[in-house]
Each structure stands twice: as C-alpha cells, then as structure tokens.
Structure 1
Amino acid sequence: MPSLVEQKLSSLDFWAKPQAERDEYFAELRAEDRPVFCPLSDGPGFYALTRYEQVAEASRKPEVFSSAPTAVSLVDPPPQVTEYIGSMISMDDPGHARLRRIVSRSFTPRLVERVTGDVAALARRIVDDLAERGPCDFVEHVAMPMPLQIICSMMGIPVSAYDDVIDATNVILAVGDPDHVGADGRDRPAVLAEKFSYLHGLMADLGRLRREKPADDLVTALTSANVDGEALNDRDLGRFFALLVIAGNETTRNALSHAVVLLTEHSAQKDVLVADLDGRLPSAVEEIVRYASPVTWMRRTLSRDHEMQGHVYRAGDRVILYYNSANRDENVFRDPHLFDITRSPNPHVGFGSPGPHFCLGAHLARREVTVLLRELYARLPNLHATDAPVRQRSSFINGIKVLPCAF
C-alpha cells in the first residue's frame, strides 16, 4: 500500500470522514500481510497496530512496549509540555506501579459508596433539567455535566472552577481543532502548557489546603496516603488530576453522546433496550463502548528489538495501538460493523487492552453511563438526536462537540 495512503492516519482530514469510510480503511490495513508504517512530516513516523492480537500483545508486554516518554502523542512533546504530562498513562514500572498502588488504595469503600450515591442523584437532576428544558444540545446539558461533576466532587473541586476545568480538558484533547486552539495566534505548545499549568495549580492549591484541613474527598485521601512509606507529592497530584479529569471526563461524556447517536440510528436496538432496561443495559454499555471507541489509540515505544507476527520491530520504533480497529477485528468479533446491544461475548478494548495500563476508572465510567442511560430512557424513551453530531477534529479522541436532541 503506497505510503501516501498510509499517511491518512496522521491526517485530521481523514479522521473527519464518516465512520464507515474510516472503518473500511482500517479493514484494509488489518488485511495487510506486512506492518503498516506511517511516515510523519514532523517526526520519525510509526507502525500502526490494527489487529486485536497486536494491540493485546503490546498491552501485555510493557517491558517491551514502553509508555514512556509519552503514550498520548504521535510525536514527542516539547519541553514546556513534558513537565506536566508525566502521569501514570505515560510511565512504566516501577514508577507506574507506585502511583497506581497509591491511587488504588485511596479509593476507599466509603468514598466509592458516596460516589455511587452521587451518580444516581446527579442523573436524576440532569434528567429533571432536560425534561424541563426541552430540545437542546445533549453534549452541553446532559453528557458533559455527569462526568465533570462526579470527578470534581470526588476531588473536592469548587463549583466555581468547573467551567475553567472543562475548557482546559477540551483544549488539551482537541489536537488541531480550530474551536479549541487559541485564537490569539499562540502556538499549540504554549496553549497546552497554559492549560496544564492551570490544572496543576488548582490541584496544588487544593492539596495544600487539604493537608491543613482534611475533608471527605479524594484529594485528602491522596495527600494523606502512606503506601509502603510513600504518598503523592504536589507534582504527582497535579499529574494525576490532569489524567483523571481529562480521561474520565472526555471518555464518559463521549460514550454517552455516542449512545444517543447509535440508539437513534438503530431504532430497533433502542426498542430492545427500552423494553428491558435493567436486563439489557450492561451489555448495551459494553457495545456502545466497543462501537464508539471513545479513545482511538495509545502510543508505545519499543525498548528493545521484538518479533511479533513475523515482523521484527527495532528498539526505538514507535507503534500506535488502534483500539478502534481492534474493536472491529473480524477474527474476534462476529459481524464487527453491526451495532448489537445483545452482543456476547464482547471482549472489546474500549478501556484499553488488559495489562498494567487498563483504565483505572473503567468501573466508574461504566456506572456513570449505565445510571444516566437508565434514567434517560426510563423517563424519556423517545429521546433521539435531531441532527448529525458535530464531531471533534481529533485522531486521539472520537469526540462529539454538539448533538441536538429532542424527546
């Protein structure tokens, strides 16, 4: 396949194309009998891992497929950004294991129980407001408030900061989207550094406050945690918050938005769901995540030479794990392009493939999506999209910016 064709993967114009066209292209890549290399004009290029087994193997072997120096950029970030993004997602062991251990133990049963109650109460308030408001933008009024408010509530972020937090997450993830890259002529690294700095500063201030005045929130747990003599310092805390608010907010919000699009386009599937919400929701949520793949890819860098499926990758090679393609692999999923809320089994990689970097917040994300969809379709079963979604211009996130809805 000509290299010019392969360059589609680094072109935002390609990612703006309809889903069916992108799916067809990835099917061609999965059928290739050689590794697909994608050159870049501003970097050394990368190999595209498009098959399920490739993504799974790379995820299972972090000692070979390293997350450092970054898992979230096709090219290495500039120095002014690097200092902010060294979160767990872009780290290997032992540093990754240390942070994950501290964070995992801070999610106490009491905190999880409180968050579970918060999700149900918030879902009721969101649908109350929607029923009163009428036709509106689903993203702004329904999908966005749920994960943002839950995460900020967990961390103890004041309500007054919510708008600035969501603006920062939008800018950080919207690589190349003109709606989110400053209109003042500054280059993207400068804008990114500003937004990351804001999130880190917000968390540093709150961390200092919670060390002096503990509260019943996650920041207090993280700043007072002592796992094998270790706790999070201010930099760790800022990096973790940036990861949590960006990954937890964007992926859940986009899964919810895609759910409405998919259930509008596949009305028979919505009828099946509404007829047995409690029975069908668990598998429906998994299928929505598989089909939408809110996080499209992650990057790994080879720490040493490694042979996989007959090809030797060399130390220093960069590979991109395309979750969206793995979730359409014909060798794993029957009728992979069919949206089927009864699909079973459904071993999708929408939260990452099993391994040390599997999404720490997968359980919370599933709960948020399940509870809000149950509330929406129990009370407003005719909820539907009234126009095509306005998609985010990004290769990394399969995002929806605007989604008109009615019921």
Structure 2
Amino acid sequence: MKTHRALLHVRLPRPVSLFSAAAFAFIAGCADSEVVDPLAPASPCAAMLDQCLVDQKICVEGAKGPRCEVCPEGWYATKAGACESIGGSAMAHDFADFTVKGGEEIKGLCQSWTLNNPEELWVNAVELTQDVVSHHSNWTFVPSNQFDGPDGVWPCSERNYSQFEAALYGGVLYAQSTQASHEVQKFPSGAAVRVMPYARIIGDVHLLNTTSADITGHAKLSIYTLPEEEVKVKLAPFHLDYHGLDIPAHATSRFVGECALKDEFPSNEMKMDLYYILPHTHSMASRFFVEVMGGPLDGTSLLNIEGFNAEARGRQYDPPVSLLGATGLRFACEYTNPRSENVGWGFGDQEMCELLGFAAMPIAFESRISTAEPAGQDGDTKVFKGACDTVAFFWDQNKPGGPTPP
C-alpha cells in the first residue's frame, strides 16, 4: 500500500563535502581560486586519507604524525585529499542565538530564512556551521507564502509545518549529519537543486545538550549557487528509512531494507544517476551500508561506513553512478545493543537507520520499512528484514515561486 510520509525525518545528518577551520595553516597563502596541493602518494598521510575522507576531512602531517583535519569555512575536502574553495555565489544567513539548558532536549522547533530572490536559484552546495548543540536538522524550501510568518525560531506546530508538504510545495535542500558542528553538502560541478523565485528556507531542528551546563549558540546556513547556464544536471531527492527498528537487547543485529524501485519510474526503467548520499544513525550503530539491487551491478557497494563518530559523513559521487538496469536499492544498519531492553526507532536514546540522497531522475521517492521480521543469523549477528513501501511522484523542476513582495 502506498501512503504519504515525511520525506526526511526530524533530526539531522549530513552530506559529502568536507569542511572545517583547523586547516587554515595548511592553506595559508592560497587565493580563493587556488586548490591546496594533494598529498604525495608516498606521504605518511597516504595510508589514512580514505579514513579522513569518510568524515569529510583532509589528512595533515604534523610533529606527532598524520591527523585528519577539517577544511576552513568556505572550503571542502576533495577526494584527492585537498581543501578546495566551494565556489559559486554565496548567500549566508545567521540565525538568532538560542539557549539550550543543561541536559535539555528540544524537538519541534523550526527556523526560517526568507530569501527574497526575484529569480530562481540553482544550489550546488550548502554549508552549515552551528554551536547550539543541534543533534540534527532537516532543511526544505517553499514559496514564501507557505508556512508564512516572521523569520527566526518558531514552533513548527504553530504554522502546521510538515516536511512532506514542504517537499511537495518546494523541495529538499539539505540534511545535517548527526551532531555535526560544520558540514558542507557539495554536489559535483554542474549539478544543482532548483529553488523557485521568492522562496523561504525552513529547517526542522532537534537540539540535545548532553552536558550539565547551559549552552547558548546559533546556526549559520550558507547556500552556493550557479548561474543557470552552468547547470547541466537538475537533481531530485529521495529518502530511505528503516522505521521498524526493534534492536534486540544484549545482541549484535542487522536490519536490511530491500526496496524495489524500478516499477516506480516511467517506462519501468530505473533511470537514476546517483550524485549524493547522506546516512543517518545514532551512536549505537556500528555500520551503515548501501548497495545496488538487481541488474548487472547487483551487490555493488555504494556506501559502507563503520562506526559512529558525529562527523559529516555524506558522500559525493563524481562521476555519478548510473543505476539504469538495477531494480532497486538495498540498505542496512548494524547495531550492538549493550542494554537490557530492546531499542526502537526514535529520538533521545533510541536509534535510526535512514539516508537522504540526491539523483538525476524524473521522480522523487520515499521508501520505508515498518516491520522487523527475523531473517536468520550471520555468524553472531541477528538479521532482520521487512517489506519496503515506496511513495513516488513526478519531480517538477519548474514549481512556481512565491508572490512578489509589496
């Protein structure tokens, strides 16, 4: 049965470009148009570069040996191990300061930024910097007359905000990796998400202060746009969610979602070029992986991440991966639960297993698994599966914008 569901969930994970501030010394003296020289193959960093890139970092050699380091604001880590300027035309917005009390968890807050853009925008990258203990956040965009009201921080319920409805009115912009303080979602050159004229960006945020002290901070969101003539690929979003988690106590387990997608596409062909994936779990997860399902690439790994560390873990695909001939996507999360009780899907001390992706395709879709049925054992790992229910719809790249301001 096909039903409408939230296209993202409410917390946040994030994507695959790399970022930071500690690398200023590494790139000192470079002009904005310059690229930091890639690491020499024989350098001590060569062996740990892949490990750094998983967290969107570069490897830097120091007196105590090589270490992973984020790129400064406005830069991202390339797969060659260099910090490179994000490029494009930047628009930035600093949201107001907010205080989260010691031990406090806050859900259901929204933040908005009305762009007042008279022309459509083609977003090639999104950068988030935050020091307000944002556990995760999901960002959409809508015409400015939707979910209307003053910008700033407001209860989502006050305007009946819905992520799914926002995606239908407008689209999906970005999702923050769990607890990431700085992250860049960077698409390959020429690929972009269209934002209609006179749009409003809305973030649904989840705040979690695990310390005993009050913390005051804010978020800064930047978008980097391309001129329309430079846009070669128009992207659409998709979301996979294993919502039926029931992680057994005192055990290692794997929850596998196998989502048949081919028949959701026009002509029953999976014309989908993959450009970006952002996984999302909480701290109990020990592994997250995504594979191609069916066709000549069946079983091909698209993403395989070990452990959890609250870093930026989105992945860019350059060149993109063509999934033509495949029948769907398979994704899974593994957990080791030391507790005496089972753990389900949810906030706080519960878990999640989901991903946000962007692809060149004629549709957008959300797939959800709502049950966890025993499916055997893989060594000491208990395996669970469930039926995958998909909602797919045509993705309109020409949605109308909001009204012209008076």
Q: TM-score category by the smaller chain?
A: under 0.3
- Higher strand proportion, which one? 2
TM value normalised by structure 1:
0.27
- Higher helix proportion, which one? 1
Q: RCO (CA 8 Å, sep 6+): is it higher in 1 or 2?
A: 1
TM value normalised by structure 2:
0.27
